Amino acid sequence: MPQIVIDGRSIEVASGTKVIEAAQQLGIYIPRLCYHPALGSAGACRLCAVSFLEGPVRGLLMSCMVEAKEGMVVSTQHPDALQFRKQIMEWLMMNHPHDCPVCDEGGHCVLQEMTVAGGHSMRRFPGSKRTYEDQDLGPFVQHEMNRCIHCWRCRRFYQEYSGYKDMGVMGLASRTYFGRAVPGPLESPFAGNLIDICPTGVFTDKPSRFKARRWECQRAPSLCIHCCLGCSIVVNSRYREVLRIEAGHNPEVNGHFICDRGRYGFDYVNHPSRPRWPLVEGRACSWQEALAYAGGRLREIIEKHGPSSAAVVGSSRASLESLGALRLFCEKHAVSGPFLWMETQELKCVRRLLQGQELFVSMKQVEEADTILVVGLDPVQEAPMLALALRQAWRKGGWVGVVDPRGVELPFCFSHWVVHPREMGMALEYLAGKPKSPYEGFDDQGFLKAWRQALARGKRPVMACGTLLAKADFMGACLELAHFLRKEKGCGGLFPVLRGANSLGAVAVSGSEASGLEELLEAIERGELKALVLVETDPLFSFWGKARLKEGFKGLELILVMDYLPSGVSKQASVVMPCKSLFESSCLFVNNEGRLQEATAVHHGGIPISQMLEEANPPRTFGTEIPGGGTCAGWEALAKLSEAMGESLGFSDLPGLRNVLRQRFGWLREVRPGQRILALEPEGGKRWEEIFHSQKEEGQGALSLLLVQATFGTEELSSYSRHSCKMEAGPMGFLHPETAACLGLKQGDLVRLGWEQGELEFLLETKENMHKELLVVQAHRLLDWDKAGRPPEVVNSGQLEKII
């Protein structure tokens, strides 16, 4: 642990620490353009020069390239260093265009700051500036190569850190060019990070181009809720419109980066059709009127048909407050629910996983693991940032093994054991060393032996598992294997990937009798239900029961929707109450590892001014209220509804609600935002063995059907975003090339899958590394769910036909 003196202050740092980091620990910011804590040192920009006065090295050196050593005395303000840095700034500006006034980076540009700080204001060099042609890099990233200062951050991130190979550096010397071999959309789902890490304006945010300077924006830290990981983000809003998302820094969760789904999915909050005021039977009205109507109707229905004739539905994209209020509402009025899960099976999977919650680890710990098993999970498609964490583990020499039937692709080398879904449990038992495993004694050219060896070698194993393949013994086997690794190694963990941003929050507030929407659907069809309250949920989005639900809705007397999305179900509703999104009200979420995280309100919200300009500018109607700003948080709307029904839920504001929830739920009592909840207690829960559908008999040549997620196109919120929709590949289905050939199909065919209750159409892609007895279809928003009943688990070759 060397001791080092910087600017007269002494600090002891871990060996291997670079001087630039040591200074940062003292709160001294040494100027830098190429150094980035996640990317390390490059020594490219020469801006972090400092004077070494005493110690093993002397003179002017780059602080990002020199490790702190015992006895070093460093001055960051030495006249030599100041003069050198000043000169460097002048050189960097020699080729940099003077386009700050029209550059989107202007105002948060590191190069601009350093130029001003270095006092460089007059150009002395009379020569012309170097120029380049820019490329079209797709819908997210704007390219402006003339501004480049060759710090290499973009390439280091794109190729080394994230492992994608379609963007890099070409040419040399003054022709050095950062871009793609040919213009076209960047292939990496992490490409948006180029915008954050570029210290100048070469890569800027395309959707928010020319819209605002950073200082004009309302900015606040928030959470990404487009998957379960709960990455930190920073939100920029102006004139009631969320313009841009930047990655927030959260060392335990996402580090410095986020994925493009998280960066560009936000636009649902700006949706022009978003509900902005209450609607009763399609007519806009005041909250009072809507509450009186809905509350009255609900009370009548309950009095007439009994409390179980009304049901309350939520989802795992709702905040913990909304979920908690849903539970309180149910208890207060004795109505059915809350139904928070699309499928009972999913709820039970998560419950089962919770039994191993003492093994849960953070994404940071995944990065630090040396042996990682990824089972029943396709990280890039389901939780993209996990793929980036896995890559970091691999870069440090870690081994990654994937047990999955799908054609999983990851941006690094991994070992892929292609196992049929029905055999997943057996495969995991084999890895856990069960002597009776059918894989024992059978081994394909030593492949599995290598796996056992890798597991035996590992000192810090982690298992990441998904819930998509949850069948029969899978979840139990996951836990068993995780416990086995923990027992063998004394450490090791489990990293569950769930489907919703607040899946763990939802399971924790679910009562012991909770079930999925299938049971609700059946109750509707039996005519037992008369009223439905849907809070921040849309079962019509990708639920297989869409057609049946729509039919069932006809028999209901009241459908009340509280949401911030112009959802499908809100078009069926008799009463719509507009809700606040998480950018408009502070709220809590519990991520996949059980971490309680808070999103702060960014702005009040309302109709974006950009959407009001068509009407008139300035607006011709005058009032003291923000247009379209009269929205309530989900929990607030529920509390008001309850009051309209004559019963208070016991709170009137956010702190009040949080207090009530802390009293009601023991697991919430001691936890502060940012901390892990150590003991989530789900109530009750049936035995695991009972919960799965029985395996159907499979005929000759039958294929198992898997409905899977995609990075873009299957997640609900981002599918309302104008930006991320541009990166969707359309509904895709996947077959092994041999299977496809047997069926007379080939890559690029438009294929129809038909069964007695419905049909789905998708574009076929063949993948070499998937199981041959499998058909994988993306649960895409563009699939025609109106025509699809419950998809079959097993498909016969006759059910697949080529359309084009």
**What is the contact surface with other proteins in residues (CB under 8 A)?**
165-172, 175, 177, 180-182
* Measured distance CA(276)–CA(627) in Å, rounded: 8
Q: Which is nearer to other proteins, 168 or 792 (CB)?
A: 168
Residues 6+ apart with CB under 8 A from 302: 309, 310, 333, 335, 531
- The minimum distance between CB 407 and other proteins, in angstroms, equals 17
- The minimum distance between CB 170 and other proteins, in angstroms, equals 4
Q: Which is nearer to other proteins, 89 or 186 (CB)?
A: 186
Q: Which is nearer to other proteins, 168 or 307 (CB)?
A: 168
- The minimum distance between CB 389 and other proteins, in angstroms, equals 23
Q: Which is nearer to other proteins, 181 or 334 (CB)?
A: 181
Helices (H), 490-565: 503-509, 517-525, 546-553
- The minimum distance between CB 42 and other proteins, in angstroms, equals 16
Contact between residue 711 and residue 783 where contact means Cβ atoms under 8 Å apart: no
Residue 336, classed as helix, strand or coil, is strand
Q: Which is nearer to other proteins, 172 or 616 (CB)?
A: 172
- The minimum distance between CB 179 and other proteins, in angstroms, equals 9
Q: Which is nearer to other proteins, 186 or 633 (CB)?
A: 186
* Measured distance CA(404)–CA(466) in Å, rounded: 10
**Residue 786 exposed, middle or buried by CB count within 10 Å (0-12, 13-18, 19+):** exposed
Q: Which is nearer to other proteins, 177 or 287 (CB)?
A: 177
Q: Which is nearer to other proteins, 163 or 627 (CB)?
A: 163
H or E stretch covering 177: strand 177-179
Calculate the CA 724 to chain-centre distance: 13
Q: 633: which 2 tokens? A: 């948080």
H or E stretch covering 75: strand 72-75
Q: Which phi and psi (to 5°) does residue 363 adopt?
A: -65, -35
Rg (CA), the chain: 28
- The minimum distance between CB 158 and other proteins, in angstroms, equals 10
Q: Where are the beta strands (DSSP E) in 530-636?
A: 531-535, 558-563, 575-578, 587-590, 596-599
Sheet-wide strand order for 732-735: 794-795, 703-708, 774-778, 732-735, 758-766, 750-755, 800-802
Q: Which is nearer to other proteins, 56 or 184 (CB)?
A: 184
Q: Which of 452, 531, 441 is nearest to 484 (CA)?
A: 452
- The minimum distance between CB 182 and other proteins, in angstroms, equals 7
- The minimum distance between CB 131 and other proteins, in angstroms, equals 17
- The minimum distance between CB 758 and other proteins, in angstroms, equals 40
- The minimum distance between CB 175 and other proteins, in angstroms, equals 8
Q: Which is nearer to other proteins, 165 or 696 (CB)?
A: 165
Question: CA angle 587-592-594, nearest 5°?
Answer: 70
* Measured distance CA(696)–CA(360) in Å, rounded: 33
**DSSP per position, 732-783:** EEEE-HHHHHHTT--TT-EEEEEETTEEEEEEEEE-TTS-TTEEEEE--TTS
Strands 203-205 and 177-179: unpaired
Q: 540: which 2 tokens? A: 């019509």
* Measured distance CA(424)–CA(471) in Å, rounded: 9
Q: Which is nearer to other proteins, 102 or 172 (CB)?
A: 172
Number of Cα atoms under 13 Å in the Cβ half of residue 4: 30
- The minimum distance between CB 180 and other proteins, in angstroms, equals 6
Q: Which is nearer to other proteins, 170 or 334 (CB)?
A: 170
Q: What's the one-letter identity of residue 415? A: S
Tell me the sheet residues that pair with 372: 400, 462
Q: Which is nearer to other proteins, 170 or 741 (CB)?
A: 170
* Measured distance CA(379)–CA(387) in Å, rounded: 5
Contact between residue 23 and residue 8 where contact means Cβ atoms under 8 Å apart: no
- The minimum distance between CB 140 and other proteins, in angstroms, equals 18
689 CB neighbour count, 10 Å cutoff: 9
Contact between residue 794 and residue 702 where contact means Cβ atoms under 8 Å apart: yes
* Measured distance CA(597)–CA(574) in Å, rounded: 34
- The minimum distance between CB 155 and other proteins, in angstroms, equals 9
- The minimum distance between CB 166 and other proteins, in angstroms, equals 5
Contact between residue 515 and residue 507 where contact means Cβ atoms under 8 Å apart: no
Sheet-wide strand order for 218-223: 218-223, 232-238, 241-247
Angle formed by the axes of helices 424-431 and 447-457, nearest 10°: 50
Q: Which is nearer to other proteins, 137 or 291 (CB)?
A: 137
Q: Which is nearer to other proteins, 238 or 767 (CB)?
A: 767
- The minimum distance between CB 176 and other proteins, in angstroms, equals 9
